[in-house]
Amino acid sequence: MGGDAIAAIPPIYFRLPDYSIAKYWNDMSAAAPNTDFVIYNIPQMSGTTLTPALYAEMRKNPRVIGVKNSSMPTQDIQIFVAESEEDYIVFNGPDEQFISGRVIGAKAGINGTCAVMSDLFLKLNQLIIDKDLGHAKELQHAINSVIYKMVSGRANLYAVTKEILRLNEDLDIGSVRAPVRASI
């Protein structure tokens, strides 16, 4: 088993000061010294927000290559881009905000629903590169409509994603694990 990079959220049970989170991430990075490290900022799930000060501290680690920002305000992407050197990557997280994240400065996205509609996300990305924002906005709205359908049932988004891959791509990668709801 291998990987190109580690992406890690902060510890989620105890509220920790920035220096403790930095130590946690740096210890994890040190355990895989030849592997790039991407900070995963998802405060609505982890309970911890990546602050500019913590991001600055983490950028001292040569294995840190950037941040996946899944916070809801796209302004956070602007902040991380402004704080970063040119060789850092800021990824957009929320699929529903792909256009917003890219336009405000994210270099790319790490998107869960891209697995079931990669052609649409690739087209959306190209429209953004081409600065065809009118068509990009229309396509983002269409993508969002699919996402809203995917989350409208009783199952978890990732259970739905795996089922779509099984049905459309003949790719059976199993389902989600309890306690996440798997039945569609």
List the domains of the chain with CATH numbers.
5-111 (3.20.20.70)
What count of other Cβ atoms lies within 10 Å of the Cβ of residue 6? 18
What count of other Cβ atoms lies within 10 Å of the Cβ of residue 127? 20
Q: What is the pTM (predicted TM-score) of this model? A: 0.87
Residue range 110-130: average pLDDT? 96
* 10-24, 64-78, 94-108, 143-157: the lowest-pLDDT one: 10-24
* 2-6, 24-28, 108-112: the lowest-pLDDT one: 2-6
Q: How confident is the model at residue 37 (pLDDT cuts 50, 70, 90)?
A: very high
In the chain, the amino acid numbered 140 is Q
**Whose CA is closest to 98, among 80, 66, 120, 82?**
120
**Whose CA is closest to 41, among 8, 74, 11, 19?**
8
Write down the pLDDT at residue 184.
65
Q: Exposed, middle or buried by CB within 10 Å (0-12, 13-18, 19+), for 165?
A: middle
Bridge partners of residue 54, in order along the sequence: none
pLDDT tops 80 at residue 65? yes
The residues annotated with a catalytic role in the active site are 40, 68
